[in-house]
């Protein structure tokens, strides 16, 4: 009822009725009214689909924090060898520090790496270890799965440490830029101030 085409058609139909009451439409007034309604409906611009709404970076980070909480619950429920558990503790501390920052809006690539680590890489590495540990009972002499888990967790730590470095550099650049702006504003005020006699 409230579409653009219907409203334009109704306006055309009203114009047809106006022509009818003035006598210009004659005996064919129903065709004139219907024709003007149809012309208005055809000439009206089409309805535009609404622009899709995507969550902003802050909302995405809140969801990721919830996912990280679930990952921590999962990791607390599994039993890992001491060396891998130590690596995982280091990785957990780094992930906690990274998810605590709000600066991810400026670097979506780093946010993707963080998201992939929380939702895919860490749980997959631990789950693969747990499944491989069971199978090594049937294949004695093969490489222990905990060695591969330690290696995978080390690689993930290095990758996320690189992400942390990118984030630190971005924050440092923002801080330096803000300092520069403040210094420029202070210099402009000094230049505008008339000299005291």
80 and 20 in a common domain = no
- Model confidence band, residue 30 (pLDDT cutoffs 50, 70, 90): confident
Does any domain span residue 25? yes
14 and 104 in a common domain = no
Residues whose CB falls within 8 Å of the CB of residue 155, separated by 6 or more in sequence, listed in order = none
Tokens of 48: 């535009």
What are the angstrom distances between the C-alpha of 161 and each of 17, 65, 81, 104? 75, 18, 23, 15
> In total, how many domains does the chain have?
2
- Model confidence band, residue 39 (pLDDT cutoffs 50, 70, 90): confident
Tokens of 53: 């709404």
Does any domain span residue 108? yes
What integer is the mean pLDDT of 165-181? 85
pLDDT for 175 beyond 60: yes
Does any domain span residue 52? no
pTM of the predicted structure, to 2 decimals = 0.63
Number of alpha carbons in the 13 Å side-chain half-sphere of residue 69: 7
Which domain does 89 fall in, by range?
A: 57-192
Q: How big, in percent rounded to 5, are the helix, strand and coil portions of the chain?
A: 80, 0, 20
Average pLDDT of the chain to the nearest whole number: 83
Percentage of the chain beyond pLDDT 90 is 30
34 and 127 in a common domain = no
Tokens of 55: 């969550």
162 and 92 in a common domain = yes
Q: Among the ranges 34-48, 71-85, 180-194, which has the highest mean pLDDT value?
A: 71-85
**Which pLDDT does position 197 carry in this prediction?**
56
HEC profile for 44-91? Answer: CCCCCCCCCCCCCHHHHHHHHHHHHHHHHHHHHCCCCCHHHHHHHHHH
**Which pLDDT does position 126 carry in this prediction?**
94
First to last CA, the chain: 76
Tokens of 41: 């409906």
Q: Quick: pLDDT tens for 41-76.
A: 887 777 777 788 877 777 888 899 999 999 999 999
């Amino acid at each position: 009822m409230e579409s653009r085409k219907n409203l334009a058609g109704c306006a055309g139909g009203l114009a047809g009725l106006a022509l009818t009451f003035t006598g210009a439409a004659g005996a064919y007034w129903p065709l004139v009214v219907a024709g003007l309604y149809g012309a208005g409906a055809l000439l009206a611009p089409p309805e535009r689909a609404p622009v899709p709404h995507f969550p902003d970076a802050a909302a995405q980070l809140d969801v990721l924090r919830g996912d990280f909480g679930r990952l921590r619950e999962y990791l607390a429920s599994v039993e890992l060898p001491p060396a891998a558990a130590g690596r995982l503790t280091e990785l957990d501390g780094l992930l906690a520090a990274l998810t605590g920052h709000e600066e991810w809006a400026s670097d979506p690539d780093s946010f993707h790496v963080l998201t992939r680590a929380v939702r895919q890489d860490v749980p997959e590495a631990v789950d693969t270890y747990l499944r491989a540990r069971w199978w090594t009972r049937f294949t004695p002499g093969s490489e222990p799965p905990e060695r591969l888990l330690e290696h995978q967790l080390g690689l993930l730590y290095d990758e996320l440490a690189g992400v942390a470095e990118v984030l630190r550099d971005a924050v440092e650049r923002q801080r330096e830029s803000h300092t520069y702006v403040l210094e420029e504003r202070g210099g402009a005020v000094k230049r505008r101030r008339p000299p005291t006699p």
